């Protein structure tokens, strides 16, 4: 459209295999990151941080985790919020009982614990698949819900079952204003996205995609299903566990076991379906969509000037949510990421149609 | 249906416009001279049957003050509802959205959920907005030196549990006669339901009764196994600590397993019309606590009909004015308005900030004469608060459902502070230590 | 025998677990029978909902997550309509509404998604759930509504001479069991004896083959969804009369998912048997196993019935992946 992307030839394997082979893409990404890190923390209001950007960043991380499992490896999981809960409570207990640990270490350890639990609940995937596996993952969801509500050790014997955390501190930098939280989360997300992108482009990612596309054929050519499926569960649960810990510590501050219930799992699943399964960019889009939609639905009636009672607005939210899901599934089953890709294609040729 | 370019374009346009429209900040608020009242309510979901009448009562009173009195000393009340669905994260989101609205920010929040209260308590220290939890919330938040912004006006769950134990003890002929008896607590598996356990365990140690804990998971519709266990254990009394549809389900299951409803005692949030009417004839004989206001119509209701409902401004149905939860909403709104009025005496007749309104909440002195003037005679008990005691005196009565209406039994029960106060102190101190909070010096602040 | 040892082991373990409370004398036999009956009754309700799942999956290969919402929606329709007209008329009107709903869902949601992968269809029905949730509350309201079937709610004591103290049973539970049996029998007759039933079975077997012999696929799907809707209506009426009709009914219907896993997605018999197994297992576990666990691990209360059904279904799946009565799926490269 405005510039030509062709004519950029590579002469080494390294430069051919880079993540963003086109110069314009690299420039765009650099600008975007500079904007996100350098400009946004200073111009956006606290309210937008707290209700839009911070949940968006954390949920994107969780969506990437779920996408690795469902989109890249093809194992359906409707109970992933359970692993978020594992991450959150693990982080809480680590921070509580070993206060000397740096928060980053706490996050990584919490993620590892979530990964181990995820592997455990991933074992059924070696025997069952498809919808059976989906409903079996619900066992994880409800079991974890129960576990954290009942075993008092996890909530430090709190009489109300709620736990609360102090603001996090990283080597003296107290992360308590919304802008600081945003910068911290953005940093974490960028690092994790890079890792995910590299995993997906490497041999593990290919094994996952082989299992997704034709698992019997994959086994025939020598890909071990145990290895592929369990690593998918492990990595996915790691991401989701870290996201859960961040959700509890940074976004909520204090939570009860119901904070990670079935609705959160379903929301994660919707995010990757609407965003695009098997696409990291899709996780971003999906998370943005799901986070923004309720707020949008709440604001729009006020803007149009039609007075709508809060109950009605809440019902409308459900109805429009459901209708939009069906709409997107019909119109673009590969999600917003595909729409974006099509858009870019069209823009490359614009104003010519083909 | 062919996936043609048009529908794809439509989908893309939808997504893009959604993004653009949401990131744009909401329109600037009206900067008129008004006092902004946020209203956290739930009119949908499993707790709607109980949330709707409370919200109606609250909002109706605000409308009444505007219509009958022209606002609080001339400052009109502006209010906005936000649907929380009893979910903690939505409650926090509503709080964040509404806390800065109005010329001076939000006046006070009534979360109507103990879970949301826990989450907002941490934020209140930073945002300096009072959190009013009339008859719910954290039991230790009576201590104003630690919980500077929480106001459990009317009593907490430790008070309620204490009063129930006293009542059944009296029924048995003395608290010592409770030895060897069994009391079952059927409670909602949430911070709300778990709050009374500490006190009931303390009293069990003192009097020697056996406490049976039976949690019911949200939303509370599956209680067959719970009541089978009650049938197995045959407790002498059942205390019900439910909310929303859990209450009526408990009574229905009690009917189905043959447990006498006369031996069931509900906390004040388990004793309203939506809880007993669905069980029909089976609910006869069920008892519940009632603190501020029983059901019925008084002077304030007459004003409500005259100034609000006859003009078509009512929030709910006219037949529902005067129900237990409606009256409770009225009372909660009245206390907030009175606190603003009290604060205006010190800070002037203008829109006030949350911090200024807190002073009003800490110096409430609503006696019988004031109650009569407001039209709440019979529907409110005197409330007086100080910086140290954010709840006032906790007292309640027992009411019994006779099949058609609630009949309030004579005799007022007072909570036994000798047991409760030490518990509050130790729990508040633990919280202050955990959060590294500085203790308020009430004497210095007053002076 | 060698092939079947996992199933046999699991079955034996479960039977031992079932008999333990009675054998160790931990509970009086009368109470044990009460819990058993309670479990069977709960199981009957789950079976009713699972029946709808199985029907739709059998005929159209769609896993209808919205079955719970359909139960709720139909129950709400009956409850609210019965406020204005006699109950039998309300039920008929509600049936008509469910048929219309079935037609709408088939036309707007299923037909456009005809060749998509199962996950997409699952998500679409999830979307329908959300939609019905909001729509139901908009049209019918959020209060608790009653369905008065005229059955006495007070329990009755029976067999007082056989068991000390007698056994408490509820008339409502009996009626529920009878109605459920009648429904299953009539469905079985419908599938075996009528031509539409045969057409449904043909479609369930192989879509393309059925189309090639002239069976109108879309019309069959509308019929199946209508039948499932009527089943949801029966489940909703029974459940609603017992518990009252309100929003959370849809979440309880989620419990029917382990039932279909246990029984096999495509089997009507599996739905019934699975429902009974899950119902009994759940109640037994909650009443007898729960207190043991609470004491052993110092837990803050029981509530294991929330996950017991799922874990039980999971264990069954590990030994028999296609469910008790499901069809073995053979993977081909």
Angstrom distance (rounded) from CA B131 to CA B154: 14
Interchain CB distance below 8 Å, C301 and B221: no
Pick from A77-86, A328-337, C128-137, C197-206: least confident: C197-206
Q: Which of A52, A146, A159 to substitute to test the interface with B, most B CBs within 10 Å?
A: A159
For chain C, how big is the Rg over CA atoms in Å? 21
Interchain CB distance below 8 Å, A315 and C138: yes
Closest to A68 (Cα-Cα) out of A268, A258, A246: A268
Angstrom distance (rounded) from CA A31 to CA A41: 15
> Distance from B312 to chain A by nearest Cα, in Å?
16
CA angle, B227 as apex, B225 and B233 as ends, to 5°?
Answer: 105
Q: Which of A46, A258, A345 to substitute to test the interface with B, most B CBs within 10 Å?
A: A258
> Distance from A343 to chain B by nearest Cα, in Å?
8
> Distance from A215 to chain C by nearest Cα, in Å?
8
Choose among A160, A256, A327: nearest Cβ to B195.
A160
Residues of chain B with pLDDT below 50 are 1-3, 24-30
**DSSP at C92:** H
> Distance from B281 to chain A by nearest Cα, in Å?
31
Measured N-to-C along each axis, helices A203-213 and A225-246 cross at an angle, to the nearest 10 degrees, of: 110
Residues of B in contact with C151 (CB under 8 A): none
Query: For residue A273, is pLDDT > 60?
Result: yes
Angstrom distance (rounded) from CA A268 to CA A76: 12
How high does pLDDT run on average in chain B? 86
Q: Using H for helix, E for strand and C for coil, what is the string for chain A?
A: CCCCCCCCCCCCHHHHCCCCCCHHHHHHHHHHHHHHHHHHHHHCCHHHHHHHHHHHHHHHHHHHHHHHHHHHCCCCCCCCHHHHHHHHHHHHHHHHHCCCCCHHHHHHHHHHHHHHHHHHHHHHHHCCCCHHHHHHHHHHHHHHHHHHHHEHHHHCCCCCCCEECCCEEECCEEECCHHHHHHHHHHHHHHHHHHHHHHHHCHHHHHHHHHHHCHHHHHHCCCCHHHHHHHHHHHHHHHHHHHHHHHHHHHHCEECHHHHCHHHHHHHHHHHHHHCCCCHHHHHHHHHHHHHHHHHHHHHHHHHCCCCCHHHHHHHHHHHHHHHHHHHHHHCCCHHHHHHHHHHHHHHHCCCCC
> Residue C77 belongs to a domain with what CATH number?
1.10.3470
Interchain CB distance below 8 Å, A139 and C113: no
**Is C234 a domain residue?**
yes
Q: What is the mean pLDDT of residues A202-206?
A: 93
CB crowding C87-123: b at 16 or more within 10 Å, else e: beebbebbbebbbebbbebbebbbebbeebeebbbbb
Angstrom distance (rounded) from CA B116 to CA A160: 12
Q: What number is the ipTM of this complex?
A: 0.84
Interchain CB distance below 8 Å, B252 and C306: no
Q: What is the pLDDT along chain C (333 residues), one digit of tens a residue?
A: 566 777 788 778 888 888 877 777 767 777 888 888 888 888 888 888 888 888 888 777 777 888 888 888 888 888 888 888 888 888 899 999 998 988 888 888 888 887 777 777 888 888 888 888 888 888 887 777 777 777 777 777 776 666 666 677 777 778 888 888 888 888 878 877 888 888 887 887 777 888 888 888 888 888 888 888 888 898 888 888 777 777 666 676 677 888 888 888 878 888 888 899 898 988 888 888 888 888 888 777 777 888 888 888 888 877 877 778 877 766 655
Closest residue in A to C332 (Cα–Cα): A216
Q: Say how many domains are in chain C.
A: 1
Interface size B-C, in CB pairs within 8 Å, comes to: 107
> Distance from C160 to chain A by nearest Cα, in Å?
38
Interchain CB distance below 8 Å, B1 and C153: no
The strand pair at C167-169 and C156-158 is best described as: antiparallel
Window 265-304 of C, Cβ < 8 Å to B: 282-283, 286-287, 290-291, 300-303
Regarding the domain with residue range B157-293+398-418, which homologous superfamily does it belong to in the CATH classification? Response regulator (3.40.50.2300)
Please indicate if any CB of chain A lies within 8 Å of the CB of C129. Answer: yes
Residues of A in contact with B122 (CB under 8 A): 164, 253-254
Window 86-145 of C, Cβ < 8 Å to B: 111-112, 137, 142-144
**Is C268 a domain residue?**
yes
The strand pair at A173-175 and A168-170 is best described as: antiparallel
Window 76-135 of A, Cβ < 8 Å to B: none
**Is C257 a domain residue?**
yes
Q: How many CB atoms lie within 10 A of CB C152?
A: 9
Interchain CB distance below 8 Å, A329 and C116: yes
Cβ atoms of residues C173 and C41 within 8 Å: yes
Interchain CB distance below 8 Å, B119 and A252: yes
Cβ atoms of residues C18 and C287 within 8 Å: no
**Is C333 a domain residue?**
no
Partners for A (CB, 8 Å, 3+ pairs)? Answer: B, C
Choose among C112, C144, C283: nearest Cβ to B245.
C144
Interchain CB distance below 8 Å, B222 and C249: no
**Is C1 a domain residue?**
no
> Which pLDDT does position B2 carry in this prediction?
44
Angstrom distance (rounded) from CA C309 to CA C285: 10
Cβ atoms of residues B116 and B84 within 8 Å: yes
> Which pLDDT does position C121 carry in this prediction?
80
> Which pLDDT does position C245 carry in this prediction?
76
Paired tokens of A240: 């989701």
Residues of C in contact with A76 (CB under 8 A): 119, 122
Helix (H, G, I), strand (E, B) or coil at C115: coil
Q: What is the mean pLDDT of residues A4-13?
A: 84
The strand pair at B237-241 and B365-366 is best described as: unpaired
Angstrom distance (rounded) from CA A112 to CA B281: 56
Angstrom distance (rounded) from CA B201 to CA B384: 29
Paired tokens of B398: 């027992």
Interchain CB distance below 8 Å, B257 and C27: no
> Distance from C230 to chain A by nearest Cα, in Å?
23
> Which pLDDT does position A246 carry in this prediction?
95
**Residue range of the domain that includes C275:** 29-319
**Is C19 a domain residue?**
no
Paired tokens of B37: 């009242």
Choose among C112, C119, C134: nearest Cβ to A76.
C119
Ranges of CATH 3.40.50.2300 domains, chain B:
34-156+295-393+424-446, 157-293+398-418
Closest to A333 (Cα-Cα) out of B283, C112, C103, C29: C112
Please indicate if any CB of chain C lies within 8 Å of the CB of B274. Answer: yes
> Which pLDDT does position B265 carry in this prediction?
94
Question: Is residue C82 packed enough to be buried (19+ CB in 10 Å), middle (13-18) or exposed (0-12)?
Answer: buried
Angstrom distance (rounded) from CA B277 to CA B52: 16
Partners for B (CB, 8 Å, 3+ pairs)? Answer: A, C
Choose among A76, A131, A136: nearest Cβ to C314.
A136
Question: Is residue B418 packed enough to be buried (19+ CB in 10 Å), middle (13-18) or exposed (0-12)?
Answer: exposed
pLDDT in tens, A183-197: 999 999 999 999 999
**Is C330 a domain residue?**
no
Which residues neighbour A86 within 8 Å (Cβ) at sequence distance 6 or greater? A110, A113, A114, A117, A118, A144, A237, A241, A244
> Which pLDDT does position B3 carry in this prediction?
47
> Distance from B319 to chain A by nearest Cα, in Å?
20
What is the dotted CATH code of the domain comprising B34-156+295-393+424-446? 3.40.50.2300
Global pTM exceeds 0.90: no
Choose among B23, B138, B194: nearest Cβ to A161.
B194
What's the pLDDT band for A99 if we cut at 50, 70, 90?
Answer: confident
CB crowding A38-67: b at 16 or more within 10 Å, else e: eebbeebeeebbbbbbbbbbbbbbbbbbbb
Q: How many CB atoms lie within 10 A of CB A225?
A: 16
Closest residue in B to C285 (Cα–Cα): B225
Interchain CB distance below 8 Å, B190 and A256: yes
Total residues found in chain C within this entry: 333
């Amino acid at each position: 459209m405005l510039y030509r992307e062709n004519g950029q030839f590579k002469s080494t394997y390294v430069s051919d295999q880079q993540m963003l082979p086109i110069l314009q893409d690299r420039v765009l990404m650099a600008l975007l990151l500079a904007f996100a890190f350098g400009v946004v923390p200073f111009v956006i209001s606290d309210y937008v941080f707290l209700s839009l950007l911070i949940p968006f960043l954390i949920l994107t991380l969780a969506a990437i985790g779920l996408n690795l499992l469902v989109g890249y490896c093809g194992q359906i999981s409707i109970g992933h919020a359970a692993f978020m809960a594992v991450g959150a409570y693990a982080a809480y207990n680590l921070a509580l009982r070993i206060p000397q640990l740096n928060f980053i270490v706490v996050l990584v350890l919490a993620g590892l614990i979530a990964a181990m639990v995820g592997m455990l609940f991933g074992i059924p995937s070696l025997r069952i698949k498809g919808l059976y596996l989906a409903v079996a993952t619900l066992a994880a969801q409800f079991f974890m819900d129960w576990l954290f509500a009942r075993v008092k050790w996890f909530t430090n014997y709190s009489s109300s079952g709620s736990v609360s955390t102090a603001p996090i501190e990283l080597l003296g930098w107290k992360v308590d204003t919304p802008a600081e939280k945003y910068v911290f989360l953005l940093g974490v997300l960028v690092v994790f996205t890079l890792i995910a992108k590299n995993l997906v482009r490497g041999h593990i990612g290919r094994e996952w995609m082989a299992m997704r596309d034709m698992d019997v054929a994959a086994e025939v050519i020598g890909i071990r299903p145990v290895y592929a499926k369990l690593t998918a569960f492990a990595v996915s649960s790691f991401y989701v566990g870290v996201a859960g810990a961040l959700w509890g510590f940074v976004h909520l501050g204090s939570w009860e076991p119901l904070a990670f219930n079935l609705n959160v799992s379903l929301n994660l699943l919707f995010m990757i379906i609407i965003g695009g399964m098997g696409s990291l960019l899709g996780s971003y889009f999906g998370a943005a969509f799901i986070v923004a939609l309720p707020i949008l639905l709440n604001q729009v009636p006020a803007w149009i000037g039609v007075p709508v009672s809060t109950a009605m607005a809440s019902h409308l939210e459900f109805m429009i949510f459901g209708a939009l899901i069906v709409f997107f599934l019909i119109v673009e089953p590969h999600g917003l990421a595909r729409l974006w890709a099509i858009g870019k294609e069209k823009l490359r040729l614009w104003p010519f149609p083909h | 249906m062919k996936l043609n370019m048009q529908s794809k374009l439509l989908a893309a346009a939808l997504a893009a416009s959604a993004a653009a429209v949401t990131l744009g900040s909401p329109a600037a608020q009206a900067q008129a001279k008004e006092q902004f009242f946020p209203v956290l309510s739930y009119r949908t979901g499993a707790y709607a049957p109980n949330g709707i009448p409370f919200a109606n009562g609250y909002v109706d009173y605000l409308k009444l003050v505007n219509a009958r009195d022209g606002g609080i000393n001339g400052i009109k009340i502006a209010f906005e509802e936000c649907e929380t669905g009893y979910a903690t994260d939505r409650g926090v989101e509503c709080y964040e959205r509404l806390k800065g609205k109005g010329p001076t920010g939000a006046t006070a929040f009534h979360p109507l959920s103990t879970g949301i209260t826990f989450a907002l308590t941490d934020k209140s220290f930073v945002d300096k907005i009072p959190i009013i939890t009339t008859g719910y919330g954290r039991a230790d938040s009576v201590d104003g030196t630690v919980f500077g912004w929480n106001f459990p006006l009317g009593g907490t769950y430790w008070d309620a549990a204490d009063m129930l134990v006293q009542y059944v003890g009296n029924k048995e002929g003395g608290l010592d006669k409770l030895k060897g008896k069994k009391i079952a607590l059927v409670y909602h598996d949430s911070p709300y339901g778990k709050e009374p356990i500490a006190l009931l365990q303390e009293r069990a140690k003192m009097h020697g009764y056996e406490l049976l804990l039976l949690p019911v998971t949200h939303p509370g519709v599956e209680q067959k196994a719970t009541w089978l266990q009650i049938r197995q254990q045959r407790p002498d009394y059942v205390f019900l600590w439910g909310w929303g549809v859990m209450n009526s389900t408990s009574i229905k299951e009690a009917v189905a397993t043959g447990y006498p409803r006369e031996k069931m005692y509900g906390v004040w949030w388990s004793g309203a019309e939506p809880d007993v009417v669905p069980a029909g004839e089976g609910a006869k004989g069920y008892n519940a606590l009632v603190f501020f206001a029983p059901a019925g119509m008084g002077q304030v209701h007459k004003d409500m009909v005259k100034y609000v409902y006859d003009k078509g401004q009512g929030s709910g149905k006219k037949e529902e004015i005067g129900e237990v939860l409606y009256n409770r909403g009225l009372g909660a709104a009245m206390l907030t308005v009175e606190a603003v009025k009290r604060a205006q005496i010190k800070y002037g007749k203008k829109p006030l900030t949350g911090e200024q309104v807190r002073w009003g909440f800490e110096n409430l002195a609503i006696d019988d004469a004031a109650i009569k003037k407001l039209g709440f005679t019979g529907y409110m008990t005197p409330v007086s608060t100080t910086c140290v005691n954010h709840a006032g005196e906790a007292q309640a009565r027992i009411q019994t459902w006779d099949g058609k209406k609630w009949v309030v039994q004579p005799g007022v029960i007072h909570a036994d502070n000798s047991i409760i106060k030490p518990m509050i102190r130790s729990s508040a101190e633990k919280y202050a230590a955990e959060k590294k909070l500085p203790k308020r010096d009430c004497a210095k602040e007053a002076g | 025998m060698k092939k079947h040892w996992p199933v046999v082991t699991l079955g034996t373990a479960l039977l031992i677990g079932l008999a333990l409370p009675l054998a160790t004398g931990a509970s009086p036999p009368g109470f044990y029978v009460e819990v058993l009956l309670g479990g069977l009754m709960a199981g009957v309700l789950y079976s009713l909902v699972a029946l709808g799942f199985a029907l739709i999956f059998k005929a159209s290969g769609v896993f209808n997550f919205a079955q719970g919402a359909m139960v709720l929606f139909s129950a709400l329709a009956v409850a609210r309509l019965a406020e204005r007209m006699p109950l039998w008329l309300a039920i008929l009107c509600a049936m008509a509404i469910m048929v219309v709903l079935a037609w709408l869902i088939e036309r707007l949601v299923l037909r456009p998604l005809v060749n998509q992968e199962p996950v997409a269809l699952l998500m679409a029905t999830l979307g329908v759930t959300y939609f019905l949730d909001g729509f139901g509350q908009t049209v019918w309201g959020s209060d608790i509504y009653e369905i008065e079937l005229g059955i006495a709610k007070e329990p009755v004591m029976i067999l007082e001479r056989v068991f000390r103290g007698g056994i408490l049973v509820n008339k409502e539970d009996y009626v529920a069991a009878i109605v459920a049996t009648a429904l299953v029998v009539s469905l079985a007759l419908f599938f075996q004896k009528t031509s539409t039933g045969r057409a449904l079975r043909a479609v369930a077997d192989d879509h393309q083959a059925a189309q090639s012999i002239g069976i109108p696929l879309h019309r069959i799907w509308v019929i199946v969804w209508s039948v499932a809707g009527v089943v949801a209506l029966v489940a909703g009426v029974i459940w609603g009369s017992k518990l009252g009709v309100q929003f959370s009914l849809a979440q309880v219907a989620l419990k029917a998912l382990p039932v279909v896993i246990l029984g096999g997605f495509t089997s009507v018999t599996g739905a019934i048997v699975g429902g009974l197994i899950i119902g009994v297992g759940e109640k037994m576990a909650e009443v007898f196993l729960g207190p043991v666990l609470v004491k052993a691990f110092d837990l803050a209360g029981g509530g294991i019935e929330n996950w017991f059904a799922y874990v039980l279904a999971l264990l069954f799946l590990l030994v028999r992946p296609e469910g008790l009565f499901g069809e073995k799926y053979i993977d081909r490269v």
